[in-house]
Amino acid sequence: MANATGLNAPEVAASMGLILAAVVEAAALLGNGALLVVVLRTPGLRDALYLVHLCVVDLLAAGSIMPLGLLAAPPPGLGRVRLGPAPCRAARFLSAALLPACTLGVAALGLARYRLIVHPLRPGARPPPTLVLTAVWAAAGLLGALSLLGPPPAPPPAPARCSVLAGGLEPFRPLWALLAFALPALLLLGAYGGIFLVARRAALRPPRPARGSRPRSDSLDSRLSILPPLRPRPPWGKAALAPALAVGQFAACWLPYGCACLAPAAQAAAAEAAVTWVAYSAFAAHPFLYGLLQRPVRRTLGRLARRALRRPPRACTSRAWHPRALLQHLHRPPEGPVLGPSEAPEQARDLAGRESLSMPEAT
């Protein structure tokens, strides 16, 4: 029984990894697709172009390199499909180009938000987004072209290494780690650190008294209202939430991959599947981190959700308003008994007598 359990343990681990990877890919596709629709429907969003670029890069990665990781991951990986020389080089190029495009795009988004918050009245200090994204794709294309200089995949008995970590790119991996991880990490840390300092300075600044405000009374209630709380909270706690989430998510997803690029080839090949899918989880986290934390995006998402879930009004039956049915209803005889000409005066006299009897009672 123990031997059977030990033999089945790698298969169970591979199945669990396959399920988790499929969940990550589905979340990346659905989240980025929904965020792209919401951003395009949100008017007046200042960093819309950077968000659209990030969604497009994440969708490209979720539609190309993530399925290849599911099908052709190295053992003990997720898939067992072997790629040929041309598909292997294509997978290596896409992996080496899309990952830097993602990390550099995140850094560009952080810098854009820093300039919008710290220098809102200086539009000349902000470079055009097209120039920034052109530089991002130039760096990503350079790293992708360098990946094509690696050796072809090994013969069929050996596993085919079709990634940056284990593709025979030892001379280029430090450069890739510098441009794709270290530089975006420093830019992101500087941008969100500046945003936190500005928010902290604004939170610590005492509020200005309003014009025409009356002085505080010297009553007991007034004295109790100015007492400090028992557990004072730092005023910059809410301002530190978004920078901490952005920097923490970037470090948690990309730090293992960046360290694996600097490790020896044998250790990088052994940890390839784990660190690769930890990095791929960033594609699923971006819609929630950079989309739902923005108030205009949340408003547009709520409006679209209410519009989609709104119940249609009840339509009136066409038979009731049909001309023929309406004429039949008008010409239909009354349901009660029809009074003759001799009975109508008697009924009128009875009604008059009842009214005359009831008048004195009411008086």
Average pLDDT value over all residues in the chain? 75
Cα separation, 303 vs 298, whole angstroms? 9
For residue 206, the SS3 value is: coil
Q: What value does the mean pLDDT take over residues 12-38? A: 86
Does position 68 have pLDDT exceeding 50, yes or no?
yes
List of residues 6+ apart from 236 with CB closer than 8 A:
196, 199, 200, 203, 204
Higher pLDDT pick, 120 / 4: 120
Band the pLDDT of 151: cuts 50, 70, 90: confident
d(CA 252, CA 220): 51
Query: CA nearest 143: which of 191, 181, 108?
Result: 181
Residues 6+ apart with CB under 8 A from 222: 216
Contacts of 52 (CB under 8 A, 6+ apart): 36, 39, 40
pLDDT tens figures, 259-285: 988 888 788 878 888 888 899 999 999
**Domains, the chain, ranges and CATH?**
12-204+238-308 (1.20.1070.10)
The label of the residue with tokens 């988790």 reads 20
Q: Are 280 and 66 in contact (CB under 8 A)?
A: yes
Helices (H), the chain: 2-40, 48-63, 65-72, 85-118, 129-147, 173-177, 183-204, 220-225, 241-262, 265-270, 272-290, 295-309, 323-330, 343-362
The band of 300, judged by pLDDT with boundaries at 50, 70 and 90, is confident
Each as own residue / partner, the long-range contacts of residues 101-104 (CB below 8 Å, 24 or more positions apart, any chain) are 101/57, 101/136, 101/137, 101/140, 102/54, 102/57, 102/58, 102/61, 102/282, 102/283, 103/180, 103/181, 103/184, 103/250, 103/254, 104/136, 104/139, 104/140, 104/180, 104/183, 104/184
Mean pLDDT, residues 119-148 taken together: 84
pLDDT surpasses 80 at 314: no
Residue 6: pLDDT band (50, 70, 90) is very low
Of residues 3 and 108, more confidence is placed in 108
DSSP H or E run through 236: none
How many CB atoms sit inside 10 A of residue 137's CB?
Answer: 17
The structure tokens 């497009």 sit at 56
Least-confidence region, from 177-186, 193-202, 298-307, 323-332:
323-332
According to the model, what pLDDT value does residue 108 have?
A: 93
Residue 75: pLDDT band with limits 50, 70, 90: very low
What pLDDT does residue 197 have? 84
Q: How many CB atoms lie within 10 A of CB 44?
A: 6
